[in-house]
Amino acid sequence: MALALTLGRRGQGATWPNPAVGCVIVKNNRIIGRGWTQPSGRPHAETVALAQAGAQAAGADVFVTLEPCAHHGKTPPCSQALIDAGVARVVMAIPDSDPRVDGLGAQMLRAAGITVETGLLGDEAFNDHDGFLRRTITGRPMVTLKIASSFDGRIATGTGESQWITDSPARRVVHAMRARHDGVMVGGGTARADDPSLTVRDL
């Protein structure tokens, strides 16, 4: 599951409106397929991993960071793809809170005789999918307030000159945060003085 989480993070910031899911397929203690949600949310992580695994997926264990979907959208349901592939067990980190899924993926898998387990590294998966979950549960976006300041509480030099306050590792954390959000806002003064690009870099 740790590898599935790592794979899912590769898609963060690029899969909207879908979550950035990671999937690993294992058979006889060997990884036979891996995938993550592709740009714009298709194909899904499970589809990518199943394509890699091919016929070997029959009887395999699947580790996925979010409950496989159960509805027809821009792609067919991943739950049905897993059933059709003949996998034996699906371990999902957390359920999908999207009302179109919300337990139906797990229900479909169990009805087909597939063992379903939930909760492995669930806290980490919840953190990775926080924006998606918050939107589907509350209808509101995930909002993060970030400020960089010097030890004396300032955000610029005494002359107003712009310079880095944070070090390189801290800036990488900020760019990772940007990748998890759909938008970045700054104050008008910052926009006029610095003309920031507000892109994701240094990851």
Would you call 46 a catalytic residue per the annotation? yes
Residue whose C-alpha is closest to residue 53's, from 29, 73, 78, 24: 24
Single pTM value for the model: 0.83
- Chain-centroid distance, C-alpha 166: 26
Q: Which residues pair with 26 in a beta bridge?
A: 31, 61
Report how far residue 8's alpha carbon sits from residue 11's, in angstroms, rounded to the nearest whole number: 6
- DSSP category for residue 6: H
Report how far residue 67's alpha carbon sits from residue 61's, in angstroms, rounded to the nearest whole number: 14
Angle between helices 45-53 and 78-85 (to 10 degrees): 20
The CATH 3.40.140.10 domain(s) of the chain lie at 2-138
How is domain 2-138 classified at the architecture level of CATH?
A: 3-Layer(aba) Sandwich (3.40)
pLDDT reported for residue 160 = 66
pLDDT reported for residue 178 = 84
* 79-90 tens-digit pLDDT: 999 999 999 999
The one-digit pLDDT tens for each residue of the chain (203 residues) are 999 999 999 998 889 889 999 999 999 999 999 999 999 888 999 999 999 999 999 999 999 999 999 988 878 899 999 999 999 999 999 999 988 899 999 999 999 999 999 999 999 999 999 989 999 989 888 888 888 887 777 777 677 666 777 888 888 888 888 887 778 888 898 888 888 888 888 77
Give me the phi and psi of 117, to 5 degrees please.
Answer: -125, 145
The catalytic position among 46, 117, 124, 161 is 46
Q: Are the beta carbons of 46 and 81 closer than 8 angstroms?
A: yes
Residue whose C-alpha is closest to residue 50's, from 83, 75, 15, 10: 83
